[in-house]
Structure 1
Amino acid sequence: MQLSDLKNLKIAVVGAGYGGAAAAKALSLLGADVNVYEQAARIREAGAGIGLRPSTMNRFREWGIFDAIAGVSSPSEYFQILTPTGGPIMKEAWPVSGEQTHTHLIHRGDFIDALLGVLPEGMVHLGHRLESVQDKGDSSVLTFAGGESVEADLVIGADGIKSVVRSRLFSDKDPVFSGEHAYRAVISVDDAYGMVVDDDLRMYIGRGTKIYLLPLRHRGQVSFDITALCPDGTWAPQVTKDDLLATVEGFDERLVDITRNLDMDTVNIRAVYDIDPVDTWHSDSVVLMGDAAHSMLHHQGQGANSAVEDAGALADALRDAASVPEALALFQATRKPVTDKLQAISRQGWAEDEIDEVFPGQKPAAAAAKD
């Protein structure tokens, strides 16, 4: 699009998570008038670590915010997969882009704070819970709880797995339970019994359970994550310390001790969901991105990375296409084949023989979807 057209473009982003914040940064650099509307009165991410891939970090370099992200993260060289008792299965170097860009490990809270911190003051509007979206063709109207309405040339639905934008305009399918729970906490490196000695991400895999140790060296901490098979699909299940200990039975005794010493008030507990692929992400003035478009299971570590890649691809499409509708079509054509594949791969988190062994006759939905 012409520079003058981009500067006259009024964009409303619904959701101030990773994807929404990244899109706001990328699109504001094009000169567009961008506002972000977030339902929460305060933005905070549950404590856990994630890995930012080189392609994601290169987007930050492109947008001039690499240092802001690198300053609250640590570069990592290797990803290791081990048996429950620490026997080696695989050690693989993370992909590297040139000599400069490595995978970086970061705390979710630090990540969102850094992204929001590089946005212009006043761009993000908190306490705006979306109730409806009216697609008028060449523009759309958002109506929030309390009656406030906003009209924009382009609405970006970056409002997560329970997206209101998606459910109102593109798909009314509910999220899909994976048959797993995730238990996540951040602990001091000193409380990790000497298991964290470098910046390698380690995954210990056993019968129905994976334990991740993700170093956050810049914080002197480590993200301790347990993913375990469980048929309880309650969104925020009630889980006891004994339940957690049962999932790590047979693992290295140091991992068991870490679990035993967890403060349950600090453990983020959730059932794990994704969504089925959405056929169409856009109209002429509304588009989905991030988890709203392609929420995926966390086994490949691609959720946040995909959201940032979406933001970059959407900005590229708006810059290169002749109009907003053409840009949205180009964006979907570029990103949907990639995310469809990642969604499918991420659903292959457990071997079917493990599932049948742990839950005879209770194959979780994500596994059934592969049949």
Structure 2
Amino acid sequence: MQPSDLKNLKIAVVGAGYGGAAAAKALSLLGAHVDVYEQAGRIREVGAGIGLRPATMNRFRQWGVFDAIADVSSPSEYFEILTATGDPIMKETWPADGEQTHTHLIHRGDFIDALMGVLPEGMVHLGHRLETLQDRGDRSALTFANGTTVEADLVVGADGIKSVVRRELLGDRGPVFSGEHAYRAVIPVDAAHGMVTDDNLRMYIGRGTKVYLLPLRHRDQVSFDITALCPDATWTPEVTKDELLATVAGFDERLVAIARDLDLDTVNIRAVYDIDPVDTWHTDSVVLVGDAAHSMLHHQGQGANSAIEDGGALADALREADSVKEALARYQAVRKPVTDELQRISRQGWTEAEISDVFPGQKPATAAGQE
């Protein structure tokens, strides 16, 4: 699209998480008028650490925000998979793009704060929970619970796994339970019983349980994540310390000790969900990004990276296409094959034998939500 057309484009981004903030930054650099509408009254990202891949970091370099992210993250050289008791299975060097760009490990909260900090003042509007979306072809109207109404030439649905935009746009089959729970905490490095000595991610695999140690040494902490098979689909389940410890029975005693020392009030406890692949991500004036388009299980560590790549690809498509309609089709053609494959791979996290222990008689694909 011509620069003059882009500058006249009014864009409403629904959601201020990874995908929304990244899309807002990328689209604002086109010269478009961008507003972000977030339902929360304040931006607060709970959870644990994530790895930002080289392609993601290069997007940040392209957008002029690399230093803001690098200042609150640690570069990492490799990812190691070990048995429950610490015997090596494989060690894979993170793919790097040149000498300057490596995978960076970062806390989710620091990540969101850094992204919010590089958006122009006044762009983000808090306390705006989307209620309805009317797609009028070349323009859409949004109504929020606080009574605000907005019209936009392009609506970007970045409102997560329970996306209202997706529901209004396409109807909604809703989130799919994976048959897993995730227990996540951030603890001081000193509380890791000597298991964190560098800036590299390690995953320990036992029967029906995976334990991740993701160092955040720039803040003298480590992200501790237990992912375990469990049939309880309650979104925020109640879990006792004994139940938590049962998931790590037989693991390295230092990992068991970390789990034993946890204060459950500081542990983020969630059933793990994704969504089935969405056939179409857009109309002529509404488009989905991030978890709203392709929420995936966390086994590949690609959720946040995919959301950010979406924002960059959407901006690229608008710059290269002759119209918004053409740009949205181009964006989907570029991104959907990639995320479809990541969704598929992420659902292959367990063996049939492991799943049958928790879901007797079921196949791996069924427990992962694929009928």
CA drift of 1:170 comes to 1.4
Match of 1:275 in 2: 275
Match of 2:248 in 1: 248
CA drift of 1:362 comes to 4.9
Is contact 1:8–1:33 with CA below 8 Å preserved after alignment? yes
Give the 3-state SS of the residue equivalent to 1:225 in structure 2. strand
CA pair 366-55 structure 1, distance change in 2 beyond 3 A: farther
Match of 2:103 in 1: 103
CA drift of 1:221 comes to 0.3
CA pair 302-179 structure 1, distance change in 2 beyond 3 A: same
Is contact 1:348–1:367 with CA below 8 Å preserved after alignment? no
Match of 1:91 in 2: 91
Give the 3-state SS of the residue equivalent to 2:106 in structure 1. strand
Deviating above 2 A after TM superposition, structure 1's stretches of 4 or more consecutive aligned residues are 361-371
Match of 1:44 in 2: 44
Match of 1:153 in 2: 153
**TM-score, length-scaled by structure 1:** 0.98
CA drift of 1:363 comes to 5.1
Is contact 1:157–1:287 with CA below 8 Å preserved after alignment? yes
- Partners in 1 of 2:359 and 2:172 — Cα distance? 29
- Partners in 1 of 2:364 and 2:241 — Cα distance? 24
Is contact 1:179–1:364 with CA below 8 Å preserved after alignment? no
Structure 1: 5+ residue runs without aligned partners? Answer: none
Match of 2:179 in 1: 179
Give the 3-state SS of the residue equivalent to 1:34 in structure 2. strand
CA drift of 1:357 comes to 2.9
CA pair 40-304 structure 1, distance change in 2 beyond 3 A: same
CA pair 366-2 structure 1, distance change in 2 beyond 3 A: farther
Give the 3-state SS of the residue equivalent to 1:350 in structure 2. coil
Aligned residue pairs total: 371
- Cα deviation 1:193-233 (Å, max 9, x = unaligned): 10000011000000000000000010000000000000000
- Partners in 2 of 1:364 and 1:109 — Cα distance? 33
- Cα deviation 1:27-57 (Å, max 9, x = unaligned): 0000000000000001111130000000000
CA drift of 1:358 comes to 3.6
Give runs of aligned pairs for residues 151-300 of structure 1, distance below 5 A.
Answer: 151-300=151-300
One-letter amino acid of the structure 1 residue matched with residue 205 of structure 2: I
CA pair 84-100 structure 1, distance change in 2 beyond 3 A: same
- Partners in 2 of 1:117 and 1:350 — Cα distance? 39
- Partners in 1 of 2:21 and 2:78 — Cα distance? 28
- Partners in 2 of 1:43 and 1:191 — Cα distance? 28
- Partners in 2 of 1:204 and 1:358 — Cα distance? 20
Give the 3-state SS of the residue equivalent to 2:69 in structure 1. helix
- Partners in 2 of 1:177 and 1:341 — Cα distance? 19
Identical positions, percent: 82
Is contact 1:231–1:364 with CA below 8 Å preserved after alignment? no
CA pair 278-71 structure 1, distance change in 2 beyond 3 A: same
- Partners in 1 of 2:363 and 2:73 — Cα distance? 38
Structure 2: 5+ residue runs without aligned partners? Answer: none
- Partners in 2 of 1:297 and 1:200 — Cα distance? 21
CA drift of 1:113 comes to 0.3
Is contact 2:83–2:204 with CA below 8 Å preserved after alignment? yes
Is contact 2:180–2:230 with CA below 8 Å preserved after alignment? yes
Are positions 1:312 and 2:312 aligned together? yes
- Partners in 2 of 1:202 and 1:292 — Cα distance? 29
Is contact 1:171–1:278 with CA below 8 Å preserved after alignment? no
Give the 3-state SS of the residue equivalent to 2:133 in structure 1. strand
